[in-house]
């Protein structure tokens, strides 16, 4: 940990980075200017950038003075298609795009971690790879990083998400599942349209689709073990063009979340079977499409004590983290290397993805200190 006076100065620098990122947000996999900014700041701080064939995102590395393992720390860098309403002096200048999930915070804080570690090479047994990952919000960025070989010689990886309901200086830690798996589905009901006054000559897709919506809730309550947490949400329902014509088809779309990877396939099959059965009974047909997104984010129990120590040794508070049914593409890394993901308290103004989202910038220092200490602990001599 650096001294108090130096911390204040350092925090100002990190706030500067965060505000510049916040002002210039970019959408997933289009983070070209953000990539340039991060590279520039790394060069200014004498930190090595590794040469991977990635167009967006940056991989940096701090090589220790002693032999040892490779630990990776990941920050995501993308923003969302939301029109900012905070009226902060450093509000987004990119219309309709906003850092409403706090990835500007993650990037600036982990840049801070890299700077601290670059000054402590004598204590590092091995190396720390810093991954500034693009495209988290669309769930594709971590796979892009994995496919480009960035994790090939990495022994373990750590990450965080800012957490608005935890105060600054508090870190939420939990082994096992922390965030849900994310899958998307589309159901098209094909009926047979006609005159609204003569429904007996039609197969009304809205009636069929409505029964499917109601039955999806029964899939959870009657067909999946009550011990499991499962959410099926139908978030889009479209059919028809006017008041006196029964339409030909209806379309629905939604998402399934669970904390158990093993039941994702079972839910998919149950949903498809239920939708098909209802359509068949009413004379209609179904097209069912399933898109798998990220698996359950599940922390490796072996790192829990170390993650708690890194909090407590620096005077921060550890709380047992609560699970969240949001998704996080960090979970793809967990399919490749052992890992741990924590909640970083930021005392946010409201929930993520809101047009007024803001957080307390003091947390930048906490996160920068926390991850540098955690990396040193993992790479200590013992
Ligand atoms: Zn988000
Ligand atoms: Zn996020």
Check if the beta carbon of residue 232 is closer than 8 Å to that of residue 219: yes
Tokens, residue 125: 């047994």
Tokens, residue 23: 């002002």
Check if the beta carbon of residue 374 is closer than 8 Å to that of residue 306: yes
Quick one: three-class SS letters along 58-86?
A: EEEEEECCEEEEEEEEEEECCEECCCCCC
Check if the beta carbon of residue 177 is closer than 8 Å to that of residue 259: yes
Q: Are residues 54 and 98 in the same domain?
A: yes
DSSP 8-state class, residue 294:
-
pLDDT tens for the chain, 382 residues long, are: 566 668 899 999 999 999 999 999 999 999 999 999 999 999 999 999 999 999 999 999 999 999 999 999 999 999 999 999 999 999 999 999 999 999 999 999 999 999 999 999 999 999 999 999 999 999 899 999 999 999 999 999 999 999 999 999 999 999 999 999 999 999 999 999 999 999 999 999 999 999 999 999 888 888 888 888 899 999 999 999 999 999 999 999 999 999 999 999 999 999 999 999 999 999 999 999 999 999 999 999 999 999 999 999 999 999 999 999 999 999 999 999 999 999 999 999 999 999 999 999 999 999 999 999 999 999 986 5
Q: Are residues 17 and 136 in the same domain?
A: yes
Rounded to whole angstroms, how far apart are CA atoms 256 and 247?
27
Query: What is the 137 CA–ligand 1 centroid distance (Å)?
Result: 5
Pairing between β-strand 156-163 and β-strand 194-195 as defined by DSSP bridges: unpaired
Q: Are residues 198 and 167 in the same domain?
A: no
Query: What is the 110 CA–ligand 2 centroid distance (Å)?
Result: 14
Question: Is 137 known as a binding-site position?
Answer: yes
Q: Which of 365, 13, 342 is nearest to 173 (CA)?
A: 342
Report pLDDT for 1: 58
Query: What is the 13 CA–ligand 2 centroid distance (Å)?
Result: 23
Q: Are residues 152 and 195 in the same domain?
A: no
Q: Are residues 228 and 282 in the same domain?
A: yes
Rounded to whole angstroms, how far apart are CA atoms 361 and 321?
21
Pairing between β-strand 249-258 and β-strand 230-239 as defined by DSSP bridges: antiparallel
Check if the beta carbon of residue 250 is closer than 8 Å to that of residue 209: yes
Rounded to whole angstroms, how far apart are CA atoms 299 and 344?
15
Rounded to whole angstroms, how far apart are CA atoms 144 and 215?
37
Rounded to whole angstroms, how far apart are CA atoms 304 and 176?
10
Question: Is 202 known as a binding-site position?
Answer: no
Q: How far apart are the first and last CA of the chain?
A: 20
CB under 5 Å of ion ligand 2: residues: 101
Query: What is the 99 CA–ligand 2 centroid distance (Å)?
Result: 9
Query: What is the 162 CA–ligand 2 centroid distance (Å)?
Result: 8
Region of 87 please: left (phi>0), alpha (psi -120 to 50) or beta.
left
Domain boundary among 260, 292, 324: 292
Q: Are residues 161 and 71 in the same domain?
A: yes
Number of domains composing the chain: 2
Q: Are residues 237 and 349 in the same domain?
A: no
Query: What is the 255 CA–ligand 2 centroid distance (Å)?
Result: 18
Q: Are residues 197 and 151 in the same domain?
A: no
Q: Which of 137, 78, 163, 73 is nearest to 110 (CA)?
A: 73
Domain boundary among 242, 267, 292: 292
Question: Is 353 known as a binding-site position?
Answer: yes
Domain boundary among 257, 292, 327: 292
DSSP 8-state class, residue 281:
H
Question: Is 24 known as a binding-site position?
Answer: no
DSSP codes, 176-188 = EEEE-EEEEEEEE
Query: What is the 305 CA–ligand 2 centroid distance (Å)?
Result: 25
Tokens, residue 246: 């029964």
Q: Are residues 214 and 204 in the same domain?
A: yes
Residue 373 lies in domain: 4-179+296-378
Check if the beta carbon of residue 156 is closer than 8 Å to that of residue 319: no
């Amino acid at each position: 940990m650096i001294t108090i006076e130096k911390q204040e100065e350092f925090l100002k620098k990190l706030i500067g980075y965060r505000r510049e990122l916040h002002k210039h947000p970019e959408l997933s996999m289009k983070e070209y200017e953000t990539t340039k900014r991060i590279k520039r700041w790394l060069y200014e701080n004498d930190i090595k950038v590794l040469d991977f064939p990635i167009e967006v995102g940056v991989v940096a590395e701090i090589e220790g003075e002693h032999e040892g393992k490779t630990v990776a720390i990941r920050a995501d860098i993308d923003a969302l298609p939301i029109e900012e309403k905070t009226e902060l002096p450093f509000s987004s200048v990119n219309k309709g795009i906003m850092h409403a999930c706090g990835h500007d915070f993650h990037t600036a804080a982990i840049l801070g971690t890299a700077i601290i570690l670059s000054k402590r090479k004598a204590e590092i047994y091995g190396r720390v790879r810093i991954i500034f990952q693009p495209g988290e919000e669309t769930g594709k960025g971590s796979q892009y990083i994995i496919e480009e070989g960035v994790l090939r010689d990495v022994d373990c990886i750590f990450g965080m998400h800012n957490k608005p309901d935890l105060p600054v200086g508090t870190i939420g830690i939990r082994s096992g599942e922390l965030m849900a798996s994310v899958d998307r589905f589309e159901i098209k009901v094909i009926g047979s349209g006609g005159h609204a006054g003569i429904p007996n000559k039609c197969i009304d897709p809205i009636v069929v689709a409505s029964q499917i919506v109601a039955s999806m809730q029964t899939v959870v309550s009657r067909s999946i073990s009550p011990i499991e947490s499962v959410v099926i949400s139908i978030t889009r329902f479209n059919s028809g063009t006017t008041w006196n014509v029964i339409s030909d088809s209806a379309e629905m779309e939604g998402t399934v979340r669970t904390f158990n990877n093993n039941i994702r396939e079972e839910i998919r099959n149950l949903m498809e079977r239920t939708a098909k059965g209802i359509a068949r009974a009413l004379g209609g047909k179904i097209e069912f499409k399933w898109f798998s997104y990220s698996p359950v984010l599940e922390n490796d129990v072996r790192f829990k004590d170390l993650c708690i120590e890194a909090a407590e040794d620096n005077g921060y508070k550890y709380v047992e983290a609560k699970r969240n049914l949001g998704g996080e593409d960090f979970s793809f890394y967990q399919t490749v290397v052992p890992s741990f993901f924590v909640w970083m308290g930021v005392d946010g103004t409201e929930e993520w993805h809101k047009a007024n989202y803001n957080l307390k910038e003091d947390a930048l220092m906490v996160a920068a200190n926390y991850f540098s200490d955690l990396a040193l602990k993992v790479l200590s001599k013992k």
